[in-house]
Amino acid sequence: MTTEAFAPFQHLAADLFKHLSTDQEDGSHDLSHIHRVWVNAQRIQRVEGGDLEVLLAATVLHDCVAVEKNSPLRGQASTLSAQKASSILAERGWPLPRIEQVAHAIKTHSYSAGFQPLTLEARILQDSDRLDAIGAVGIARCFYVSGRMGAALYDFQNPSAQGRDYQDARYTLEHFHTKLLRLASGFTTREGARLAAERHARLEVFVADFMDEIAGQG
């Protein structure tokens, strides 16, 4: 596994990768996802500041405990990952204050957990991870995960969900309305919000084009 893409902390990344699951079957939370979050974190950190080493450790380990989207433990995934990350870094002799910085960032990055990020690094990680959930890659990840969960593309009898609540566990398109189109309004760094606005616009175009095509107007 090459870690040059995680420069300037490629040696730290290589060390931490040893503690990630080797049987990860979820292609939406694989090494490429970790790298995209790292790229996002670097882009935001260059503008906002923050401790880049803490961000690298938090990025690599933010999903170190894998929990499926449809698992009843999903809301605890970030807490479990934060606990495991703390143990990993303690074994490497990291000082407690820096371990706590990493753990807080990991615990609060999750959308489903609903924790508030209180440090700059935590805010950057949360924004960086959420950037990967919107835009073109976010669209691909959404349909990939929904396919793994057995969801349909959309409700062909009622694609706009008129007269009922959205059912995003059954219909992938409805996940855009329950979550993806809401994410951009919750970014907490200025640079993250700027990047999110660009990707949010791509979501809106996609949904409009999708609805146009299934209506037979394309």
Give me the pLDDT at residue 217, please: 45
User: Which of left, alpha, beta for 179 (phi over 0: left; psi -120 to 50: alpha)?
Assistant: alpha
CB atoms closer than 10 angstroms to residue 93: 6
Pull the structure tokens for residue 205: 């175009």
pLDDT at 183: 96
The pLDDT assigned to 185 comes to: 96
Q: Which residue has the tokens 């670097």?
A: 42
The answer to whether 177 and 64 are in contact (CB under 8 A) is no
| Domains within the chain, CATH numbers bracketed | 1-129 (1.10.3210.50), 133-218 (1.10.3210.50)
Q: Residues 13-36: pLDDT tens digits?
A: 999 998 887 666 666 678 899 999
Q: Rounded CA gap, 60 and 131, in Å?
A: 16
Task: Kindly state the tokens that stand for 119.
Answer: 């440090």
CA distance 13 to 128: 17
With a cut of 70, list the residues of the chain below it in pLDDT. Answer: 1-2, 22-28, 68-75, 216-218
Residue 125's pLDDT is what? Answer: 97
Give the pLDDT confidence score for residue 80 in this predicted structure: 92
Torsion-angle region of residue 161: left (phi > 0), alpha (psi -120 to 50) or beta?
Answer: left
Rg (CA), the chain: 18
Are the C-beta atoms of 139 and 205 separated by less than 8 Å? no
SS3 152: strand
Q: Tokens for 178, please give them.
A: 């329950």
Model pLDDT, residue 27 = 64
* DSSP 8-state code for residue 177: I
Q: Report the 10 Å Cβ neighbour count for 158.
A: 12
This prediction's pTM: 0.92
The token pair at 103 is 């753990």
Burial label for 157, CB within 10 Å (0-12, 13-18, 19+), is exposed
**Preceding amide of 8 cis, omega within 30:** yes
Would you state the pLDDT for residue 2?
67
pLDDT at 218: 38
